[in-house]
A and B are shown apart, each in its own frame.
Chain A
Amino acid sequence: QTVVTQEPSLTVSPGGTVTLTCASSTGAVTSGYYPNWFQQKPGQTPRALIYSTNNKHSWTPARFSGSLLGGKAALTLSGVQPEDEADYYCLLYFGGASVVFGGGTKLTVL
Protein backbone atom coordinates (compact mmCIF):
# COMPACT_ATOMS: atom_id res chain seq x y z
CA GLN A 1 0.00 0.00 0.00
CA THR A 2 1.43 3.35 -1.07
CA VAL A 3 1.89 5.86 1.74
CA VAL A 4 2.09 9.62 1.28
CA THR A 5 3.82 11.42 4.14
CA GLN A 6 3.53 15.03 5.28
CA GLU A 7 4.91 16.82 8.31
CA PRO A 8 2.33 16.32 11.09
CA SER A 9 2.67 19.89 12.29
CA LEU A 10 4.55 23.10 11.58
CA THR A 11 4.62 26.50 13.24
CA VAL A 12 5.35 29.79 11.50
CA SER A 13 5.32 33.43 12.58
CA PRO A 14 3.03 35.93 10.87
CA GLY A 15 4.79 37.37 7.84
CA GLY A 16 7.19 34.46 7.69
CA THR A 17 7.72 31.77 5.09
CA VAL A 18 7.08 28.06 5.52
CA THR A 19 7.38 25.05 3.23
CA LEU A 20 5.24 21.95 3.61
CA THR A 21 6.33 18.77 1.88
CA CYS A 22 4.70 15.64 0.50
CA ALA A 23 6.71 12.45 0.10
CA SER A 24 5.88 9.10 -1.46
CA SER A 25 6.84 5.69 -0.15
CA THR A 26 7.47 4.64 -3.77
CA GLY A 27 10.33 7.09 -4.24
CA ALA A 28 10.79 10.57 -5.61
CA VAL A 29 7.68 12.58 -6.40
CA THR A 30 7.67 13.91 -9.95
CA SER A 31 5.30 16.06 -11.95
CA GLY A 32 3.82 12.82 -13.28
CA TYR A 33 2.16 12.35 -9.91
CA TYR A 34 0.19 15.58 -10.55
CA PRO A 35 0.47 16.85 -6.94
CA ASN A 36 -2.58 18.72 -5.70
CA TRP A 37 -2.74 20.72 -2.46
CA PHE A 38 -5.77 21.54 -0.31
CA GLN A 39 -6.42 23.76 2.69
CA GLN A 40 -8.96 22.81 5.33
CA LYS A 41 -9.96 25.05 8.21
CA PRO A 42 -11.78 23.62 11.25
CA GLY A 43 -15.35 22.67 10.44
CA GLN A 44 -14.96 23.57 6.77
CA THR A 45 -14.77 21.77 3.47
CA PRO A 46 -11.32 21.36 1.93
CA ARG A 47 -10.43 24.09 -0.54
CA ALA A 48 -8.23 23.47 -3.55
CA LEU A 49 -5.04 25.57 -3.69
CA ILE A 50 -2.58 24.05 -6.16
CA TYR A 51 -2.89 21.48 -8.95
CA SER A 52 -0.37 19.55 -10.99
CA THR A 53 2.64 20.66 -8.97
CA ASN A 54 2.60 24.43 -9.39
CA ASN A 55 -0.64 25.63 -10.97
CA LYS A 56 -2.86 27.94 -8.98
CA HIS A 57 -6.62 28.06 -9.12
CA SER A 58 -8.18 31.41 -9.85
CA TRP A 59 -8.98 31.86 -6.16
CA THR A 60 -5.59 30.86 -4.78
CA PRO A 61 -3.82 33.74 -3.00
CA ALA A 62 -0.50 34.73 -4.58
CA ARG A 63 1.43 33.89 -1.40
CA PHE A 64 0.83 30.17 -2.01
CA SER A 65 3.11 28.36 -4.46
CA GLY A 66 3.80 24.75 -5.38
CA SER A 67 7.00 23.06 -6.51
CA LEU A 68 9.11 19.93 -6.42
CA LEU A 69 11.84 19.98 -3.82
CA GLY A 70 14.34 17.26 -3.04
CA GLY A 71 12.19 14.47 -4.43
CA LYS A 72 9.03 15.71 -2.76
CA ALA A 73 6.11 17.90 -3.69
CA ALA A 74 6.20 21.17 -1.80
CA LEU A 75 3.78 23.93 -0.85
CA THR A 76 5.36 27.23 0.16
CA LEU A 77 3.53 30.03 1.93
CA SER A 78 5.32 33.39 1.76
CA GLY A 79 4.21 36.24 3.97
CA VAL A 80 2.02 34.01 6.10
CA GLN A 81 -1.22 35.51 7.36
CA PRO A 82 -3.09 34.51 10.55
CA GLU A 83 -5.92 33.18 8.39
CA ASP A 84 -3.53 30.64 6.87
CA GLU A 85 -3.71 28.60 10.06
CA ALA A 86 -5.28 25.36 8.86
CA ASP A 87 -4.69 21.74 7.91
CA TYR A 88 -3.04 21.20 4.54
CA TYR A 89 -3.32 18.01 2.50
CA CYS A 90 -1.49 16.86 -0.58
CA LEU A 91 -2.87 14.39 -3.11
CA LEU A 92 -0.81 12.26 -5.47
CA TYR A 93 -1.89 10.22 -8.49
CA PHE A 94 -0.03 6.97 -9.00
CA GLY A 95 -1.99 5.97 -12.08
CA GLY A 96 -5.46 4.57 -12.63
CA ALA A 97 -7.05 3.62 -9.35
CA SER A 98 -4.14 4.59 -7.16
CA VAL A 99 -4.91 8.02 -5.73
CA VAL A 100 -3.58 8.79 -2.25
CA PHE A 101 -3.91 11.69 0.16
CA GLY A 102 -1.16 12.58 2.56
CA GLY A 103 -1.81 12.49 6.29
CA GLY A 104 -2.03 16.27 6.47
CA THR A 105 0.02 19.04 8.06
CA LYS A 106 -1.42 21.17 10.83
CA LEU A 107 -0.04 24.67 10.32
CA THR A 108 -0.02 26.97 13.33
CA VAL A 109 0.58 30.70 12.89
CA LEU A 110 2.04 32.01 16.10
Chain B
Amino acid sequence: QVTLRESGPALVKATQTLRLTCTFSGFSLSTSGMCVSWIRQPPGKALEWLAYIDWDEDKYYSTSLETRLTISRDTSKNQVVLTMTNMDPVDTATYYCARRRVDGRRGVIMVDFWGQGTPVTVSS
Protein backbone atom coordinates (compact mmCIF):
# COMPACT_ATOMS: atom_id res chain seq x y z
CA GLN B 1 0.00 0.00 0.00
CA VAL B 2 1.54 3.28 -1.12
CA THR B 3 1.16 6.27 1.20
CA LEU B 4 2.74 9.70 1.37
CA ARG B 5 2.47 12.26 4.14
CA GLU B 6 3.68 15.84 4.19
CA SER B 7 4.84 17.59 7.32
CA GLY B 8 6.17 21.02 8.12
CA PRO B 9 5.25 24.36 9.66
CA ALA B 10 1.78 25.71 9.08
CA LEU B 11 2.95 29.30 9.41
CA VAL B 12 6.15 30.99 8.31
CA LYS B 13 7.12 34.63 8.11
CA ALA B 14 8.09 36.43 4.96
CA THR B 15 11.78 36.06 4.05
CA GLN B 16 12.10 32.85 6.10
CA THR B 17 12.98 29.47 4.67
CA LEU B 18 10.30 26.76 4.48
CA ARG B 19 11.32 23.16 5.05
CA LEU B 20 8.81 20.43 4.19
CA THR B 21 9.21 16.69 4.60
CA CYS B 22 7.45 13.98 2.63
CA THR B 23 7.47 10.63 4.41
CA PHE B 24 6.41 7.75 2.22
CA SER B 25 5.86 4.02 2.42
CA GLY B 26 4.99 1.17 0.09
CA PHE B 27 7.79 1.83 -2.37
CA SER B 28 11.51 2.53 -2.47
CA LEU B 29 12.99 5.62 -4.04
CA SER B 30 16.00 3.48 -4.93
CA THR B 31 13.89 1.43 -7.34
CA SER B 32 14.35 2.31 -10.99
CA GLY B 33 11.56 4.54 -12.26
CA MET B 34 10.47 5.92 -8.91
CA CYS B 35 10.35 9.65 -8.22
CA VAL B 36 8.80 11.95 -5.62
CA SER B 37 7.36 15.28 -6.73
CA TRP B 38 6.34 18.41 -4.86
CA ILE B 39 3.27 20.29 -6.05
CA ARG B 40 1.46 23.27 -4.52
CA GLN B 41 -1.95 24.85 -4.78
CA PRO B 42 -2.72 28.39 -3.59
CA PRO B 43 -6.21 28.82 -2.14
CA GLY B 44 -8.79 28.71 -4.93
CA LYS B 45 -6.14 28.38 -7.63
CA ALA B 46 -4.62 25.75 -9.88
CA LEU B 47 -2.00 23.15 -9.13
CA GLU B 48 1.62 24.12 -9.71
CA TRP B 49 4.44 21.61 -10.12
CA LEU B 50 7.54 22.55 -8.09
CA ALA B 51 10.21 19.87 -8.20
CA TYR B 52 10.99 16.18 -8.25
CA ILE B 53 13.81 13.84 -7.36
CA ASP B 54 14.24 10.48 -9.00
CA TRP B 55 15.73 7.07 -8.27
CA ASP B 56 19.11 8.18 -9.64
CA GLU B 57 19.01 11.19 -7.33
CA ASP B 58 18.61 13.48 -10.31
CA LYS B 59 16.77 16.65 -9.38
CA TYR B 60 14.45 18.80 -11.45
CA TYR B 61 12.99 22.19 -10.54
CA SER B 62 10.35 24.52 -11.87
CA THR B 63 12.26 27.09 -13.92
CA SER B 64 10.36 29.96 -12.30
CA LEU B 65 11.30 28.85 -8.78
CA GLU B 66 14.56 26.96 -9.19
CA THR B 67 16.71 29.61 -7.52
CA ARG B 68 14.66 29.21 -4.32
CA LEU B 69 14.12 25.44 -4.22
CA THR B 70 16.22 22.54 -3.04
CA ILE B 71 15.02 18.95 -3.02
CA SER B 72 16.84 16.11 -1.31
CA ARG B 73 16.16 12.58 -0.15
CA ASP B 74 17.00 10.27 2.73
CA THR B 75 16.48 6.82 1.29
CA SER B 76 17.02 5.09 4.63
CA LYS B 77 14.19 7.10 6.19
CA ASN B 78 11.94 7.03 3.11
CA GLN B 79 11.81 10.80 3.14
CA VAL B 80 12.11 13.61 0.63
CA VAL B 81 12.72 17.15 1.82
CA LEU B 82 11.88 20.36 -0.01
CA THR B 83 13.26 23.70 1.10
CA MET B 84 12.06 27.01 -0.29
CA THR B 85 13.95 30.15 0.58
CA ASN B 86 12.82 33.75 0.88
CA MET B 87 9.15 32.96 1.45
CA ASP B 88 6.55 35.53 0.46
CA PRO B 89 2.81 35.80 1.15
CA VAL B 90 2.16 34.73 -2.46
CA ASP B 91 3.68 31.35 -1.53
CA THR B 92 0.72 30.68 0.76
CA ALA B 93 -0.63 27.35 -0.48
CA THR B 94 -1.29 23.72 0.27
CA TYR B 95 1.87 21.77 -0.52
CA TYR B 96 1.56 18.20 -1.75
CA CYS B 97 4.04 15.47 -2.39
CA ALA B 98 3.17 12.78 -4.91
CA ARG B 99 4.77 9.70 -6.37
CA ARG B 100 5.82 9.87 -9.99
CA ARG B 101 6.65 6.62 -11.69
CA VAL B 102 8.35 5.98 -15.00
CA ASP B 103 7.79 2.60 -16.61
CA GLY B 104 10.44 2.47 -19.30
CA ARG B 105 9.29 -0.91 -20.58
CA ARG B 106 5.80 0.37 -21.29
CA GLY B 107 6.95 3.88 -22.15
CA VAL B 108 4.64 5.57 -19.66
CA ILE B 109 4.93 8.22 -16.98
CA MET B 110 2.38 8.54 -14.23
CA VAL B 111 1.72 10.51 -11.09
CA ASP B 112 -0.37 8.09 -9.13
CA PHE B 113 -0.39 8.56 -5.35
CA TRP B 114 -0.67 11.85 -3.48
CA GLY B 115 -0.26 12.89 0.11
CA GLN B 116 -3.05 14.73 1.88
CA GLY B 117 -1.22 18.02 1.59
CA THR B 118 0.01 20.43 4.22
CA PRO B 119 -1.26 24.02 4.29
CA VAL B 120 1.35 26.73 4.64
CA THR B 121 0.55 30.37 5.36
CA VAL B 122 3.17 33.05 4.90
CA SER B 123 2.65 36.13 7.01
CA SER B 124 4.04 39.50 6.17
Q: Are A51 and B61 in contact (CB under 8 A)?
A: no
Interface residue tally for chain B (C-beta within 8 Å): 25
**Nearest CB on A from B49, distance (A):** 5
> Does B10 have its Cβ within 8 Å of any Cβ on chain A?
no
Residue interface bits A81-110, CB-to-B below 8 A is 1, else 0: 000000001010100111111111000000
Cα distance A102–B48 when bound, in Å? 9
Q: Of B66, B111, B113, B117, which one neighbours A91 at CB under 8 angstroms?
A: B111
Q: How many A-B residue pairs have CB under 8 A?
A: 65
Interface size class of A (residues with CB under 8 A): 20 to 34
Given contact pairs A1-B63, A98-B63, A99-B52, A52 touches B110 in the complex (Cβ within 8 A): yes
The 8 Å CB contact of B49, one of A34, A45, A57, A100, is A100
State the B residues within 8 Å of A (CB): 37, 39, 46-49, 52, 60-64, 66, 96, 107-117
In contact, A97 and B62 (Cβ under 8 angstroms): yes
| Known A-B contacts A1-B63, A45-B114, A97-B66; A91 and B108 likewise in contact (beta carbons under 8 Å) | no
A51 touches B46 (CB 8 A): no
- Whether B110 lies near A46 (C-beta < 8 A) is no
- Beyond A45-B117, A101-B46, whether A55 also contacts B108 by CB under 8 A is yes
Contact A52–B48 (Cβ < 8 Å):
no
B105 CB to closest chain A CB (Å) equals 13
* A to B CB contacts below 8 Å, 9 in the list: A36-B110, A45-B117, A55-B108, A57-B110, A91-B49, A97-B66, A99-B52, A101-B39, A101-B48
Residue on B nearest A104 in the bound complex, by CB: B46
- Contact across chains for A99 and B49 when beta carbons are under 8 A apart: yes
> Which of A45, A55, A93 contacts B96, CB < 8 Å?
A45
